[in-house]
């Protein structure tokens, strides 16, 4: 039985890698800072994964922690999606320092609400079955899954009626996670986050570097 289970995990990992080549039907539209930054992030391993030299095995659903804000929500680890997607409420677009920003909030299962103001790094056009394409803003957020932390692109969407507020896509998973589809909620989000990783949350291509507090 142990051998069968391990083989299943290897097959799932292979599916995730091959799926990364196929894509998931998302088109970039109105790119704010260019595709080069997105591609660089896509190919660069996350610091936590690279420093350990191993991949963390997780279930297909996990409790994760978002940064900034340090709020926990339930997520589905989705090997069929390229980019992560977050249910956000009351999304308001505004301009700050000549750049497009969005303000939004999320509320978890414990009725804790966290409000965010994040710069828009680009916008994506999502093709839906039987309906028109929808344009969504993409922001940078930090996500902790088990002991793996990465700053990654997240598109903001309306996921009312879905079981999970967050879908975690392949960009986050690459070289860091292996998904066991037979397991759920296997790990608490406990990431050892460095000061450099936290600063990366506010370092967005095309924006001035954040000022250090005296």
Q: Which of 186, 118, 107, 194 is nearest to 155 (CA)?
A: 118
- Quick one: CATH architecture of 2-200? Beta Barrel (2.40)
For the segment 51-99, what is each residue's pLDDT rounded down to a tens digit?
445 788 999 999 999 998 889 999 999 888 888 999 999 999 999 988 9
**Is it true that the peptide bond before 68 is cis, omega within 30 degrees of 0?**
yes
For the segment 105-116, what is each residue's pLDDT rounded down to a tens digit?
999 989 999 999
From CA 214, how far away is CA 154, in angstroms rounded? 31
For the segment 138-172, what is each residue's pLDDT rounded down to a tens digit?
999 999 999 999 999 999 987 676 788 999 999 89
- Look up residue 173 and give its two tokens: 């998973």
For the segment 18-56, what is each residue's pLDDT rounded down to a tens digit?
333 333 333 333 333 344 444 344 434 344 444 445 788
What are the sequence ranges of the domains in the chain?
A: 2-200
The full DSSP string for 18-83 is HHHHH--SEEEES-SS-HHHHHHHHHSPPHHHHHHTS-EEEEEEEEEEEETTTEEEEEEE-TT-SS
């Amino acid at each position: 039985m142990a051998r069968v289970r391990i083989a299943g995990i290897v097959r799932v990992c292979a599916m995730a890698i091959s799926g990364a080549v196929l894509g998931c039907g998302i088109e970039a539209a109105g790119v704010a800072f260019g595709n080069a930054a997105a591609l660089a992030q896509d190919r660069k391993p996350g610091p936590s994964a690279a420093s350990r030299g191993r991949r963390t095995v997780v279930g297909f659903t996990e409790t994760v922690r978002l940064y900034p804000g340090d709020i926990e929500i339930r997520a589905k680890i989705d090997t069929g999606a390229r980019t992560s997607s977050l249910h956000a409420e009351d999304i308001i677009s505004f301009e700050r320092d000549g750049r497009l920003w969005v303000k939004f909030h999320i509320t978890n299962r414990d009725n804790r609400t966290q409000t965010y103001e994040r710069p828009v790094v680009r916008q994506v056009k999502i093709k839906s079955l039987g309906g028109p394409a929808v344009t969504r803003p993409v922001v940078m957020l930090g996500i902790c899954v088990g002991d793996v932390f990465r700053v990654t692109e997240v598109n903001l969407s309306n996921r009312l009626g879905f079981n999970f507020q967050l879908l975690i896509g392949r960009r986050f998973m690459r070289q860091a996670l292996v998904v066991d589809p037979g397991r759920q909620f296997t790990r608490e989000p406990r990431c050892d986050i460095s000061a450099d990783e936290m600063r990366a949350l506010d370092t967005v291509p095309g924006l001035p570097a954040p000022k250090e507090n005296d």
